[in-house]
Amino acid sequence: MTTIEVACDRVGDGWTCRVAVADETGSGEHRVGVRTIDLERLAPGALAPEDLVRRSFEFLLEREPRSAILRTFELPVIGRYFPGFERAIRD
């Protein structure tokens, strides 16, 4: 079973989120930047990015192992690796 814990801090025009992911093989931490404009586009009506970031990691973990996820990235980068990301995450 995989657990995903997300904590975000407001920074400038967005948030920096710390994401802890643990599974049966170990655990890892990630830092994800989320701009306000990205939150509005990917999760219309959301006031904070925690749920969006959690769902984004669920999306990633369905497609690659925990150890393959970048340690630090801006949320829209996921779409460069997985072109269907934005469509899938909005649905």
Count of structural domains within the chain: 1
How far is residue 31's CA from residue 53's CA, in Å, rounded to a whole number? Answer: 10
User: Residue 91 above 90 pLDDT?
Assistant: no
Domain span including residue 48: 3-90
Average pLDDT over residues 5-33: 96
User: Which residues touch 81 (CB under 8 Å, ≥6 apart)?
Assistant: none
Q: What pLDDT, in 10s, does the model give residues 40-64?
A: 999 999 999 999 999 999 999 999 9
How far is residue 66's CA from residue 22's CA, in Å, rounded to a whole number? Answer: 8
Q: What pLDDT, in 10s, does the model give residues 64-76?
A: 999 999 999 999 9
Which residues pair with residue 7 across a beta bridge? 18
